[in-house]
């Protein structure tokens, strides 16, 4: 289609069927970016889904942060280094990275996605996860993507595994192997946020089971979840994967609690 006809068609669509922001519901949500720079970490993945106001509230995590768990430091001076919590508690993963801080628009989007069952948000949110992956890793640096599993009771309540949806839309296109059945959640656990460090470790201990050790043996694994809250869940998953013979485990999440 000639460029001028394409532009006219897009303008007509905007007039008759204006796009609504999936977060605030406003109609100030353009379908296409006027910027041709694909490298923009936020704009390109969220065009047509978030309005400009909600998009401005999305702030990616930038250096300096903990080189192990990815925690952004309050002081914006200095280089990346290992935080005090990672020094005090053994981590079984090599490094963890997240797109942004679990707050504001990002928190609202995740809540609408998970609890409001607004699954259309899986498209922009998974695009942000993909962008974050390629900021810190290359296509050939990981052998297998693995999602953190839900307990069967939670899966039935929700109807989907949010971590699974954050991967499937782009892993196949990028030809990165993905398996959502490598790990299984064997028992129900309390929410980690209200627990202390020792309670978190006890709460999550033995909650996961490696179903297919042969699929991860000697491989570089990328563990994916929606939110890194306390780190206990992904750390226990990483421990199980490393014990099962993985060469290394890295962690990728959409958001990071601070």
- 251 in any annotated domain: yes
**DSSP secondary structure letter of residue 224:** E
Q: Mean pLDDT score of the chain, rounded to an integer?
A: 88
Helix axes 104-114, 162-171, angle to 10 degrees: 100
Which pLDDT band holds residue 69 (cuts at 50, 70, 90)? very high
Within this chain, do residues 92 and 32 fall inside the same structural domain, yes or no?
A: no
Q: Hunting for tokens 């390629």 — which residue is that?
A: 134
Within this chain, do residues 136 and 9 fall inside the same structural domain, yes or no?
A: no
Who contacts 49 (Cβ-Cβ below 8 Å, separation ≥6)? 19, 21, 22, 29, 120, 121, 123, 124
- 213 in any annotated domain: yes
pLDDT at 196: 74
For residue 95, count other CB atoms closer than 10 A to its CB.
Answer: 17
CA distance 241 to 22: 36
- 62 in any annotated domain: no
Within this chain, do residues 45 and 81 fall inside the same structural domain, yes or no?
A: no
Question: In whole angstroms, how large is the CA radius of gyration of the chain?
Answer: 19
Number of domains in the chain: 2
Is 90 exceeded by the pLDDT of residue 204?
no
Within this chain, do residues 73 and 29 fall inside the same structural domain, yes or no?
A: no
Within this chain, do residues 50 and 71 fall inside the same structural domain, yes or no?
A: no
Domain boundary among 9, 35, 56: 56
Within this chain, do residues 123 and 234 fall inside the same structural domain, yes or no?
A: yes
Q: Which residue has the higher pLDDT, 125 or 193?
A: 125
Q: Which residue has the higher pLDDT, 43 or 227?
A: 227
CA distance 105 to 42: 12
CA dihedral 178, 183, 187, 190 (to 10 degrees): -60
Within this chain, do residues 47 and 87 fall inside the same structural domain, yes or no?
A: no
Within this chain, do residues 42 and 97 fall inside the same structural domain, yes or no?
A: no
Residue 221's beta-bridge partner residues? 144, 249
Within this chain, do residues 194 and 101 fall inside the same structural domain, yes or no?
A: yes
- Determine the average pLDDT of the residues in 124-153: 96
**Of the candidates 227, 235, 233, the residue with the CA atom closest to the CA atom of residue 255:** 227
Within this chain, do residues 35 and 126 fall inside the same structural domain, yes or no?
A: no
* This prediction's pTM: 0.87
- 201 in any annotated domain: yes
Is 90 exceeded by the pLDDT of residue 135?
yes
Is 90 exceeded by the pLDDT of residue 4?
no
30 burial (CB, 10 Å; 0-12 / 13-18 / 19+) is middle
Q: Which domain holds residue 133?
A: 67-256
Which pLDDT band holds residue 62 (cuts at 50, 70, 90)? very high
């Amino acid at each position: 289609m000639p460029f001028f006809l394409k532009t006219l068609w897009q303008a007509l669509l905007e007039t008759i069927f204006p796009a609504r922001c999936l977060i605030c519901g406003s109609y100030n949500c353009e379908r296409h970016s006027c910027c041709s720079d694909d490298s923009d970490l936020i704009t390109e993945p969220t065009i047509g889904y978030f309005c400009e106001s909600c998009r401005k509230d999305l702030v990616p995590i930038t250096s300096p942060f903990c080189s192990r768990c990815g925690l952004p430091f309050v002081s914006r001076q200095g280089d990346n280094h290992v935080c005090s919590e990672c020094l005090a508690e053994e981590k079984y993963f090599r490094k963890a990275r997240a797109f942004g801080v679990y707050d504001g628009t990002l928190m609202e989007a995740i809540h609408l996605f998970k609890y409001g069952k607004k699954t259309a948000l899986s498209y922009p949110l998974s695009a942000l996860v993909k962008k974050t992956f390629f900021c810190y890793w290359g296509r050939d640096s990981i052998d297998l993507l693995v999602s953190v599993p839900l307990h069967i009771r939670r899966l039935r309540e929700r109807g989907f595994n949010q971590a699974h949806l954050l991967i499937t839309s782009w892993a196949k296109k990028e030809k990165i192997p993905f398996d959502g059945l490598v790990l299984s959640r064997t028992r129900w656990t309390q929410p980690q946020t209200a627990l202390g460090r020792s309670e978190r470790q006890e709460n999550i201990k033995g909650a996961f089971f490696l179903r297919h050790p042969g699929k991860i043996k000697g491989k570089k694994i990328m563990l994916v979840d929606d939110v890194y809250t306390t780190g206990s869940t992904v750390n226990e998953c990483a421990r199980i994967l490393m014990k099962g013979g993985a060469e290394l485990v890295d962690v990728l999440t959409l958001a990071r609690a601070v």
